[in-house]
Chain A
Amino acid sequence: MYYYILEQPKHGSTSWLYNKLRSNLSFYGISGEISKISPVRNIEELAEIALAKQYSTIVAVGSDQLVNNLINYLQNKDCTLGIIPIGTSDLINNLIGTNDFKKACESLKERRVKTVSIGYILPDKHFLTKAEIFAPKPAIATIYFDKCNINFSFTKINIYSPSILSSTDDDRIYVNIQNASEGPNLITKTWDWLWDKKNNQNAKTYLRMKHLIIDTPEPLSVLLDGKIVGKTPIEIKVKPKVLKIITSRVKVYENNNK
């Protein structure tokens, strides 16, 4: 039923959590086969083993990097992804509804399954969180999307996968463009704060699209979980509703004050 893939522990506390994992899983009645990623067996092999053995749920126990690597093999499969967060970002925590080890185990037991869309960086990288492009100095870029193109200067571009907007059914990639050189500086922010003025956020851009191409005059690195996955020009698409994921159940408390 459950196949657990453990990431290589980066800290001593992670090893301690892994040791507690078996007892927690048996306590919640969700025991299964546990495998660790090692130099001998990488994530691709472990995912293939799990799919060959027809496990209904593959659980990623680790960080965003493990989750983003695992989803490459689980799209459009008759298999559900579960996540036990250890060192995950707020994006994953928001998606599954918890950042707590024990609550994640409870969610796996309750099995509230949600089908989500994921982002796809051509040619072969999928992501459930966000990709980033940094420019050490303000750089010029062009984004081509739908029937538009935009030209701008930036210091940072964040590209979020559609599933991050969990409160809406928007199936589009969310792009946030920032230019630190044009926003309010520290002195302006402090002055506005003293006089209770709202900061001018006009330097930020928020866009949504299903398909985009980002181009820059000079190639810039595209980062996913802190690792380089490509360089500009880069093409990013949405893969709609291809991944089943277990999220936490929303609890409704009855009002007993009658």
Chain B
Amino acid sequence: MFDKDQDMGGPGTVVGSNVKLNGIIKDLNDITVHGTVDGEVISEKNVTISESATVKGPVSAQVVTISGKVNGTINAVKKLEITPTGKVYGSISTKDLVIRSGAIFVGKSSMVGIESEKETKTPAPVKHEENAAPKTIKPEEKPQTKTGFWGKPKTNEEK
């Protein structure tokens, strides 16, 4: 229905390779960056940083795919993938991390979900039987030794 000239693209945001963006870019749908972004990139769905892209600032989305350069923190709720051409300088936080051979990652990594499992682990409660007799602590019984008439312990030869 549309002419070739009327290229509608998809419902998301695309930053072209010849574009330099300063500020916070937010979208409910996917964001794809081919150019330069000096600021935040926030999406409710997916963020794709292409090979020609450079982002200086935090990136936040459900799924993040890095093929370019990112200087900043990355928070990917579901999955983060750094492809062979990707370079990340900063801390990352994700549930599922994939770093391909050739990728560069310099920073701290925290895996969401695994750390929270460790923190919430508590010792299992001790089970008490209701009808069991109360345990009494008996003094340690000394081993019985045979003694002679005068109370002296018998040696093995006398036994």
A91 to B2, CA, bound (A): 7
The answer to whether B20 touches A90 (Cβ under 8 A) is no
Q: Which residue of B lies closest to A167 (CB)?
A: B11
Interface string of A162-174 (1 = CB under 8 A from B): 0011001010001
Q: Is the CB of A148 within 8 A of B25?
A: yes
* Complex CA distance for A151 and B11, rounded to whole angstroms: 22
Q: Is B7's beta carbon under 8 Å from chain A?
A: yes
Q: CB-nearest residue of chain A relative to B34?
A: A202
* Interface contact B6-A153, CB-CB below 8 Å: no
**A window 70-99: CB within 8 A of B:** 90-91, 93-94
B13-54 to A contact mask, C-beta < 8 Å, 1/0: 111111111111111000000110001000000000010100
Provide the bound-state CA to CA distance between A148 and B31, in Å. 15
Q: For the complex formed, measure the closest distance between the CB of A117 and the CB atoms of chain B, giving whole angstroms.
A: 16
How does the 8 Å CB contact mask read for A201-214 relative to B, with 1 for contact and 0 for none?
A: 01111111000000
Return the chain B residue nearest A174 by Cβ. Answer: B8
Interface residues on B, range: 20 to 34
B114 beta carbon closer than 8 Å to chain A: no
Contact partner of A152 among B3, B6, B19, B39, CB < 8 A?
Answer: B19
Q: CB distance B13 to A202 under 8 Å? A: no
Complex CA–CA separation, A208 to B50 (angstroms): 20
Let me know if A147 and B52 touch, CB within 8 A: no
Measured as residues with beta carbon below 8 angstroms from the partner, the interface class of chain A is 20 to 34
Q: Which listed residue (B23, B27, B52) contacts A208, Cβ 8 A?
A: B27
A149 at the interface (CB under 8 A from B): yes
Q: Answer whether A170 and B11 are a contact pair too, CB < 8 Å, given A149-B22, A158-B6, A202-B34.
A: yes
Contact between A179 and B18 (Cβ–Cβ < 8 Å)? Answer: yes
The complex places the Cα of A152 from the Cα of B22 at a distance, in Å, of 12
Is A44 interfacial (CB 8 A cutoff)? Answer: no
Would you call A254 an interface residue if the criterion is a C-beta within 8 Å of the partner chain's C-beta atoms?
A: no
A201-240: which residues lie under 8 A (CB-CB) from chain B? 202-208
On whether the beta carbons of B22 and A206 are closer than 8 Å, the reply is no
The answer for the CA separation of A177 and B9 in the assembled complex, in Å, is 11
How many angstroms from the CA of A136 to the CA of B74 in the assembled complex? 40
A115 close to B (CB within 8 Å): no
| CB under 8 Å from chain B, chain A span 114-137 | 130
**Residue pair B9, A152 in contact (C-beta under 8 Å):** no
Evaluate whether A202 and B50 lie within 8 angstroms (CB atoms) in the complex, with A179-B18, A182-B17 already known.
yes
The reply on B124 being an interface residue by CB < 8 A is no
Given contacts A151-B19, A176-B9, 16 further A-B contacts (CB under 8 A): A90-B2, A90-B6, A91-B6, A148-B24, A150-B20, A150-B21, A151-B22, A153-B18, A158-B5, A165-B11, A170-B11, A174-B8, A177-B19, A205-B14, A205-B15, A206-B10
9 A-B pairs in the complex with CB atoms less than 8 angstroms apart: A90-B6, A147-B23, A150-B19, A151-B19, A203-B16, A203-B18, A204-B9, A204-B14, A207-B14
Q: Which residues of chain A have a CB within 8 Å of any CB of chain B?
A: 90-91, 93-94, 130, 146-153, 158, 160, 164-165, 168, 170, 174, 176-179, 182, 202-208
The 7 nearest A-B residue pairs measured at CB: A148-B23, A205-B16, A206-B9, A202-B34, A202-B17, A152-B19, A206-B14
